[in-house]
Structures are given as structure tokens and as C-alpha cells.
Amino acid sequence: MLKTTGATFLAIATSFFILHFSPPPKSYYHSLFISSSLSDNASISHHLRTLTRRPHVAGSQANAEAASYVLSTLSACNIMAHIVSYDVLLTYPDSRSLTLTPSPSEPPITFDLKQEIYEGDPYADVADEVLPTNHAYAKSGSVVGPVVYVNYGRVEDYGTLKEMGVNVTGTVALARYGEIFRGDIVMNAFEAGAIGALVYTDRKDYGGEGGDAKWFPDDKWMPPSGVQVGTVYNGSGDPTTPGWASSEGCERVSVEEVESSGDVPLIPSMPISGADGETILRSIGGQIAKDNWQGSKDAPTYRVGPGPGVVNLEYNGKQVIATIQNVMGVIEGVEEPDRFVILGNHRDAWTFGAVDPNSGTAALLEVAQRLQKLQRSGWKPRRTIILCNWDAEEYGLTGSTEWVEENRELLASRAVAYLNVDCAVSGAGFHASGTPQLDDLLKLATQQVQDPDNSSQTIYEQWIQSTESSLIGRLGGAGSDYAAFLQHIGVPAADMRFGAGYPVYHSMYDDYTWIENFGDPMFHGNVAVASVWGLVALRLADEEFLPFNYHSYALELQKRAEDLENEMSDKGITFSPLFKSIEELSKAARKINYQKKEIKEAKGWTSMWRNDHVKLRELNDRLMMAERAFTDCDGLLRRPWYKHLIYAPSRHNDYGSTSFPGIDDAIENAKNLNTAESWHVVQHEVWRVARAVKHASLVLDGKLT
């Protein structure tokens, strides 16, 4: 007869308990999350219809009601939910007018500046709640001047006009939307000497080609009277509280100080329709614009001016300290409650906001409902998951920025990652951007979710077939709520969506009917976004080892540094300190990946008797904190709010950027000045980035020098 020792008996009993009574592995719940049994496109459709019944601009009663709906939905999912309010500076149009005098011999034309209701419009009863077309934070004033056509209003477009001998000083610039952020269009016009700016939606970009082109509601294209509104504020957050939260009774800077900051335009501006823009274009004479400045095939010939057409632009806005509301839902982690995986989407819209942003809000609520079903099945997250529904994003990423500024120290020490969805679906084709250590995680998630437009393949298979350039974009621009997390405090971040730009963006035609007919008719795209979004969040929240790979980061930085070195080959700039730091980062990434593997291999069913959790926690902290090391307390030159030295907006395009924004800004300045001092600044910026990359490698390595 065999003798059974106490230790052997305990091991047998433990094995029996694990086999018969332990909960399913986390991977079981992750598979369940993306299963068809949990997804619900009818529920998503209901959420979207409810959220978009009325226009709900930030600060309005309709938006407060939308916040209540989100709050009640999260609470119904047994998620601890609450509202965080801030009092921020918002602007609204008070009065505006635009008159064109085509020539001295012709009578003036007064534009009505209205977006037209179409026959059978289901939202005609609330159309008068849509704000009159305007630019948020536009300069109030009245200007009269000849018109100059400036193409997309980029810096290089003004360079072309200068080469043509066209003087912009004292004119009103007419630019078309399409390539850069509207705030930069106005800023560039001011710097070129213009006294006002008009921005229109050209048929070539938004209205469909050809004389027989149809538009919404018969097709997806922007109607001739459609206007893309939006902010022209180039900063982030409440302009009167730069760098701190707009809480009750807080310090505020004056409006004069806001204007002197350089983040708001100093000339009046107005968005106008394609039809009005074309009327003004017909009044412009002078030289014929270049071929790539021309419009659609049946458009008039575009000339650059100035004049003879003269416009009288009047705009008066009112500034209001208004209350905005972020809705926050928290699912507390059971093992690491002080580690946060954050999902965010904004709620406020310029008009009805079916695509932007409430397709994303509907997806967020879908994620919440699926997580509730997982909880009913026994799932509990290892780390805390926070669901955020931001307010006033459209004005300047305001709600998310104020929250990050208020909670900066806690987030800097505890946030694992931020996952953003803004416009969840505007068409076919998956797009994702993120910090490079999340690349593998994004790819893996899309390999597990079915493509909504082709059930025979995964999203990943569609993605790699349709992408001509790099698969995953980077978050250099300030286009959505990831900016404060990544670019201000250095939290790893990702952003995802189906579809690229869409024609009715920021117009009153971005309604439920448009998305039901053209954007996502069966709401399968919304289901797919929720699946990928939630799956990435679950892996970040549940996996013992954070699924970060900094080797991807090192490869990305190496490539960008090589591109810059080639560009600067004749300028005497040395990139050797940067290459050395990148090599150190690569070594540290390989080392921590090996350490992760070692701990994994050492963990068997007996690991419960070991003290591996301390090693695990310490390794995860290094993975989490390495991104913070890419920030610099001084921030970018003349843009101190942007602390991240790898990813931040371009100085002349808030929507776009490549890596190393400080180096790029310095190069742009040095090219203009071409002085020894300006090129010395470029070298200094290279050293700054090199130091930041070295700091990241030291964090990954986890040892003091």
C-alpha cells in the first residue's frame, strides 16, 4: 500500500479543484466577447437613433440629455457610472453676414448662409436647433477686401502664390477644405497678410464628380448648400485654463491672454458651402491657377486673383462659460485595481453627429453591454477598465483634456493605455493608428474578428489587402481625444475606425439617415469596431503580462531617423546620438521580452506557491512607464503643452505630423532663416530626442546607472 504524504495529498486536491471548480481562463471570456451571441446590431442602431434625434452641440440642453442617456445605459449595465463636470469657455455665433460684389459694375450678392432642408427630411422639425454655420473661437469683426484663391491654404500654397507674384496682403483668402486643419488654414492666411478667411467644401473633394452627380439624400455626397463647420482653435482644452483643469472657482487667463497665445485666429473667418464658394470663385480674375488647384470637370476655371470680386465678411460671436459633462463608467479590477485601461469616445456634435461622434458612442455602449454579459458569466477583469464619454471634443478636445489635466499625476502613474474611437464607422475599410508597442496587439485582435463586409475573411485579411502604405498609422496629429493622454502625459494609445473621410462631415446632413443608407446600413461595421475595441481592452486588462512590444518602437524610430538623416545630409547635422539611443532602446526591448519569456516558462501549476507576482508587477510597470519617458517637462519649443518628443502635431497642420515634431519644426524654421543659430537649434532638438529615447531604454531595463 502506497503512503500518501501531506504535500502529495494537497497537490492532488489542488489539481482536482483546478480541474473541476476553477473559473474558465480569461481567453474563454475574450472569445465569448466577440461571439455573435453577445453582439447586437439592433441595440447599436437604437443607441444611435436615440443619441442623434436632435442636434447636440457642447453646452446645450440636448447634449446634457444625451449625457443622461449614456449615464443611464452604463448604470443599467451594472457599471459604476458618474458625471464629471467642468466650466469651460465655449463660443457661439451671434450674428454673421457675407456679401460679394463680383465687379464694380455688378450688384452685390448677399448669401443666405443656410443649409437647406431636403424633401422628406425626417429631422426638419428640429433643423432650427442646428447652430448657424460658424467657426468656433473665430475672431469677431468686419472686413472688406478683394478675394484671393489659396487652394487648400497650406504654407506651400502661399509659396506658390508668391512665386506667381500674387500679393495676399489686405485680401480675403478663399480656401477649400481637404488637406489641413481649418484652424491652420486661418492661421496661415493671417501670417500671409490676409484680413479674413473663407473656407468652402469643393465639389471635387466632397460633392461627387460630373454634372449628373447626385448628393444626399440620393447619394452620399455633400449637397451644394452643405457646410463643414468646426473649431479654429489650435490648442487643447479650455483656452482660459492652459495646463490646468477648469474646475469651479479655478484660475483663468483673460481673453486678451488667450489671443496672445497664438492658438486662436486674429482675423475673422467663416465656413461656407460649395455653392457659395463656387459663386465667389467665378468673381476672381487674374492668373489661372495650376492644374492641381482646379476643381471638378464641370467647375469653372479657377483663377487666383486678387479680385475683382470683393467680399464683405461680418462675424460676431459670443463667449460663454458653459458647463460640459464627461460621463465615466468604472469596472474595478480584482487583482490590480490601481492599473487603468481606458476607453474613450466623445458625445458632443456640431449637428446631429451620426458618424462623428455617435457611431463611436453607440459602439462604446455596445462594449459596455457585452462586458455586463461577461460579468454575468463570471468574468472579472484583472485591471480596472474605465469607459469615458467625453464632452466638447469638437471645440478643442476639451472634456478629455480637462480630465487628464485634473488627474494628471494619477494617470501618469497608473494608466496602462488609452483606446480611442471617434467616428466608429463612415464606410468600408478598417483603419488603426497607435503607438508602436501596441502594433502586435492591434493586429492580433483584427485577426480574431470577422470583416463586416466579407464574412469569408477577417478584418486583418481585408486590412493588409487594402493598405498601400504602412499598416498602422501614428498618432502625431491632434485629431481626437487621445491627444491629452499620449501627447501631454505619455500614455500608450490607439485609435480605430471603419472608413476614412466622408463627404457630409460636420454638416447638418451627418444624421441617422445618412449612416443608415450609406455609412453602415446593417450596422455590422459598428459591431466589428466594438469587437476589436473591446478585445484589445480585454487583453490589456486581463493578461498577466502587458502585451507591449517595444521592439516595434525601436524599428519605427530607426526608420524615421534614417529618413531625417538623408534629408539633412548636406546641413552638417549629426544624428549619431539618436541612432545610439535607438540601439539602446532596441537592446532593452529584446531584454525585457526575454525576461518575460523566462518568467512565463518558470510559471507552471505550482506557481501559486512562488513569489512571481512581484517580478510580474515590476516588469509590467517598466512596460507601462516606458512611454512616459518619451515626454519632456519643457515640451515642444513655443508649444509647451505638447510634452511628447516622438508624436505631436505639426506646427502648420494640427491634423498631421510625422515622428520627431520638435526636430521637424526646427528644420522648417531653419530652412526659412538659414542661419547658423537656426541650424544649431535643429541639432539641439536631435539631442533632446536622443535623451528621451535613452530614458525610455533605461525604464525598460529597470536598473539605475
State the catalytic residues. Answer: 393
What is d(CA 416, CA 194) in angstroms, rounded to the nearest whole number? Answer: 46
Cβ–Cβ < 8 Å for 327, 347: yes
Query: Per the omega criterion (within 30 degrees of 0), is the bond before 452 cis?
Result: no
List C-alpha distances in Å: 378 to 28, 128, 371: 11, 48, 11
Q: How far apart are CA 171 and CA 159, in angstroms?
A: 16
Q: What is the dihedral of CA 660, 663, 665, 668, to 10 degrees?
A: -130
What is the DSSP annotation of 476-532? -S--STHHIIIIIH---EEEEEES---TTTTSTT-SHHHIIIII-TTSHHHHHHHHH
- For residues 396-422, one letter each, b for 16 or more C-beta atoms within 10 angstroms of the residue's C-beta and e for the rest, the string is bbbbbbbbbbbbbeebbebbbbbbbbb
What DSSP line would sit under 610-659, residue for residue? Answer: S-HHHHHHHHHHHHHHGGGGGB-TT-BTTBTT--BSSS--BTTBTT---S
- Which has the closest alpha carbon to 550: 579, 607, 593? 593
Cβ-contact 498, 426 below 8 angstroms: yes
A 10 A CB-CB count for 266 gives 13
> What span, in angstroms and rounded, lies between the C-alpha atoms of 410 and 81?
19
Q: Kindly write down the DSSP assignment for every residue of 112-169, as one continuous string.
A: ---PPPPTT-TTGGGGGGSPPS-EETPPPEEEEEEEEE-TT--HHHHHHHHHTT---T
